[in-house]
Amino acid sequence: MRIYDLIAKKKHGEALTDAEIGYMIDGFVKGEIAEYQMSAMLMAIWFRDMDAHETTELTKAMARSGDKVDLSPIEGKKVDKHSTGGVGDKTSLIVAPIVAACGVKVAKMSGRGLGHTGGTVDKLEAIPGYRTALDRREFLDTLRECGVSLIGQSGNLAPADKKLYALRDVTATVDSIPLIASSIMSKKLAAGSDCILLDVKTGSGAFMKTLEDSIRLAQTMVAIGEGAGRRTVALITDMDTPLGHSIGNALEVIESMEVLKGRGPKDLVEVSLQLAANMLCLADKGTLEECRRMAEKAIADGSAFETFCHMARRHGGDDSVLRDYEKFPKAPYTLEVKAEQDGYITRMDAEKVGLTSVLLGAGRETKESAIDLSAGLVLHKKYGDAVRKGEPLVTFYTSRPEKLAEAESLYREAIRTGSEPPKKIPLVFARVERDSIERYDTGC
């Protein structure tokens, strides 16, 4: 078999066989297939797509490229969650402790920020001392003791994804349904949980920009999860507007703690409650309505917040910052950007808002860049809000004063103002199960 022939086959739109997919992934992980050839293959897949069988085989080959986590020493159902990536998407920090406080174990391996999107591991590292790398024993002990452990992708879990993702990130091949589905599901299958909730983002700040593509991605991933014997459900949630008001690592930890203390912004609270209810329901804790009430109670009685603090301490973190935000490092420069006219915010390009936060230092411009954990922005006006000339739209936080002017002009490009209020957009568009799609059409 030669990778050259497989690239040519995919270039002509033919399906690869199981053996060919296995050969390609094994060879790439062992370093026998060069990155320039794999890049050509990724681009061929981007243009020619893969059918359901090929995507499943690709996922399985990637999942078996490294270790699998054995969660069997932990009693009860274990639930995992994964988002396809967004701007201001800090829901893992919120739903994981809620679900754990309701008695379901959450063993979650998260990633770092990618492109314009943020990552849970970077956010956790804003908590001084928090270790996102635990060995197997510490991970299982934390899970037993706190009910939740949020860690980074461990040593040899789905190494094929690690290598492929780095390549996709620099070859403009991230936004492909078979490539996203295999990337996410290979990690979820290797991570060992019984149930998986997927948060598939849709809109300008998501990798899938249209609802139909997002539903197709969700159906592909749900079919792979269920086919591997894991209960899998996907929610399609809005990413046309950033979630919540804060974007940037320490800022997002603070906003997440506000949600856990019962003081979060409405959109973030609503999406978090729906995700948590679905995770609890997957673990057979009750109907969706009952599970939602359980999640609400875990916020109201403070148990979800205490669970997060306990987990943070167990990971070596200083949880006093979660009670006194003044202890977080502060960005030395700020800029308030003001509205230039009266009206309503009729569009927020979430990708451009995310890129603004990267410019301010909250994300990586290259794989090697260091992140400024205190950098980011806080939105004062969002989609649908009325605004008057001179009112603050957003505040920037940065250690790079030289970037403020560029960040302001990019942010202004991301925002459109009109004279009429825009139509309401649902926060959750649909719930996708193995054999059904339930569509929702209510704005929140």
Catalytic residues, by residue number, are 82, 161, 168, 183, 187
At residue 202, φ and ψ (nearest 5 deg) are -135, 140
Total interface residues for ligand URA by CB under 6 A: 8
Between 139 and 207, whose beta carbon lies closer to ligand URA?
Answer: 207
| CA proximity to 143, closest of 68, 75, 231 | 75
User: Using CA atoms, how far apart are residues 186 and 67, in angstroms rounded to an integer?
Assistant: 11
Our CB check for ligand URA shows the closer of 180 and 291 to be 180
User: Judged by CB, which is closer to ligand URA: 164, or 294?
Assistant: 164
Give me the least distance between CB of 290 and ligand URA, in Å please.
Answer: 31
Is 45 a binder of ligand URA (CB under 6 A)?
no
Radius of gyration of the chain (CA): 21
Tokens of 288: 């969706």
* C-alpha span between 239 and 297 (Å, rounded): 27
> According to the binding rule CB under 6 A, does residue 184 interact with ligand URA?
yes
The enclosing H or E element of 25 equals helix 18-29
Distance CA 243, CA 203 (A): 12
Nearer to ligand URA, 84 or 193 (CB): 84
Tell the smallest beta-carbon distance from residue 118 to ligand URA (Å). 12
Q: How many Å apart are CA 349 and CA 353, to the nearest integer?
A: 6
Q: Determine which residue in the list 93, 180, 217, 377 makes contact with ligand URA, applying CB under 6 A.
A: 180
Longest dimension (CA), the chain: 65
Residue indicated by tokens 């804003």: 126
Nearest-angstrom CA–CA distance, 253 and 256: 5
Q: How far is the CB of 117 from ligand URA (least distance, A)?
A: 8
Among 22, 66, 85, 248, binds ligand URA (CB under 6 A): 85
Which amino acid, residue 248? G
Residue number with CB closer to ligand URA (89 or 408): 89
User: Which residues on neighbouring strands pair with residue 186, listed in sequence order?
Assistant: none
> Between 213 and 306, whose beta carbon lies closer to ligand URA?
213
In angstroms, give the least distance from the CB of 88 to ligand URA.
Answer: 16
Q: Are 344 and 422 in contact (CB under 8 A)?
A: yes
Binding to ligand URA in span 225-254, by CB under 6 A: none
Q: How far is the CB of 203 from ligand URA (least distance, A)?
A: 15
Closer residue to ligand URA (CB): 184 or 359? 184
Strand order of the sheet with strand 415-418?
Answer: 386-387, 343-348, 415-418
Binding mask 201-220 for ligand URA (x = CB under 6 A): ------x-------------
Q: Please state the closest distance from residue 133 (CB atom) to ligand URA, in A.
A: 18
Interface with ligand URA includes 415 (CB under 6 A)?
no
Among 25-33, 177-185, 237-245, 266-274, the segment contacting ligand URA (CB under 6 A): 177-185
Which of residues 85 and 376 has its CB atom nearest to ligand URA in the complex?
85
Binding string, 156-175, against ligand URA, x = CB under 6 A?
A: ------------------x-
Residue span binding ligand URA (CB under 6 A) among the ranges 23-31, 180-188, 326-334, 366-374: 180-188
Residue 390, CA distances (Å) to 319, 333, 343, 412 in order: 38, 21, 12, 14
Q: What is the amino acid identity at position 41?
A: M
The first and second tokens of residue 394, run together, are: 């957003």
| Minimum separation from the CB atom of position 80 to ligand URA (A) | 12
Pick one of 84, 110, 173, 186: the residue that binds ligand URA (CB under 6 A): 84
Of 183 and 202, CB closest to ligand URA: 183
Nearest to 91 by CA among 205, 298, 253: 253
- Closest C-alpha to 123, from 257, 276, 238: 257
Please select the residue that binds ligand URA; options are 183, 214, 278, 356, rule is CB under 6 A.
Answer: 183
Sheet containing strand 246-247, edge to edge, reads: 246-247, 376-379, 392-398, 333-338
Per-residue HEC secondary structure of 371-395 comes to: CCCCCEEEECCCCCCEECCCCEEEE
How far apart are CB 186 and ligand URA at their closest, in Å? 9
Taking CB under 6 A as the binding criterion, the range among 58-66, 178-186, 247-255, 265-273 that sits at the site for ligand URA is 178-186
Instruction: Give the residue, chosen from 86, 111, 178, 192, that forms a contact with ligand URA under the rule CB under 6 A.
Output: 111
Alpha carbon separation from 318 to 38, 247, 308, 309, 310 (Å, rounded): 43, 22, 12, 9, 10
Question: Nearest Cα to 100, choosing from 150, 63, 64?
Answer: 150
Footprint of ligand URA (CB under 6 A): 84-85, 111, 174, 180, 183-184, 207
